[in-house]
Amino acid sequence: MTAIAGSSILVIGATGGLGRELSRLLAERGALLVLSGRSEAGLASLDVPGARVVADVSDPVAVAALVREALAVSGRLDGIINAAGVVAFGPASELTDETLTELFLVNALAPMRVLREAVPALAESAAAGREPFVLTLSGVVSESPTAHMAAYSASKAAVAAFVQATARELRRTGIRVIDARPGHTETALSTHPLAGTAPRLPAGYPPASVALRIVQAIESGEKDLPSTAFASLTPAAS
């Protein structure tokens, strides 16, 4: 079992639908949180205890600074949750370079850079006898790429592959790297896409249920959360 109480955990994308729920659950379990998001006002609105750090993870300089600031809060870093993300809809033939770049900067490159910057601190946590982890949320599209979401699916598949390979590399260090791939979840992400309009989607999972399943996986030491790991959840009422 991984003890969350007293652990220093950085939540990136803490102001999003899943990020808020994950932050709340971690706080209830006694985590020492560093909450990060793009919006200062959004972070201020969170009813969750923890340090606030405004950061745009599409900027590699900001990513490195975020990890340093998170480490400085309590002098250690025991866990990271990458819950930040952007989405775009529409035919692949209509994708702009700006949309492609933003999708990969936020969804793929940011989690890769965060992990790279955090490995020394997480290795120290493991050496001290704790059980550090990094969790990403690639979602079901990394398993089943979706038409009219081709670039979004590709950006998520990229980070899922990165996590799978990095988990093997870091296994002997004691750092657990986990990818969560829940199906469609009823967050507000699809209401503010970078491009296009969201198609009509079936009822998704409640964010609170998905967040609880993820936190339980962290606590129980699970090493991967495929889409089937969320199959027992009940979709939100339409």
User: What residues are paired with 148 via a beta bridge?
Assistant: none
Look over the chain and give the mean of its residue pLDDT values, rounded to a whole number. 96
In a domain, 21, yes or no: yes
In a domain, 206, yes or no: yes
Per annotation, catalytic residue among 152, 162, 205, 230: 152
> How far apart are alpha carbons 139 and 181 in whole angstroms?
4
Rounded mean pLDDT of 65-92? 96
In a domain, 238, yes or no: no
Write out pLDDT tens, residues 181-230: 999 999 999 999 999 999 888 899 999 999 999 999 999 999 999 999 99
> How far apart are alpha carbons 135 and 19 in whole angstroms?
12
Q: Is 205 a catalytic residue?
A: no
In a domain, 84, yes or no: yes
Cβ–Cβ < 8 Å for 21, 208:
yes
179: pLDDT strictly greater than 70? yes
Write out pLDDT tens, residues 105-137: 999 999 999 999 999 999 999 999 999 999 999
Residues found in the chain: 238
In a domain, 2, yes or no: no
In a domain, 234, yes or no: no
Range of 57's domain?
A: 8-225
CATH number, residue 33: 3.40.50.720
In a domain, 235, yes or no: no
Number of domains in the chain: 1
Percentage of the residues of the chain whose pLDDT score is greater than 70: 100
In a domain, 230, yes or no: no
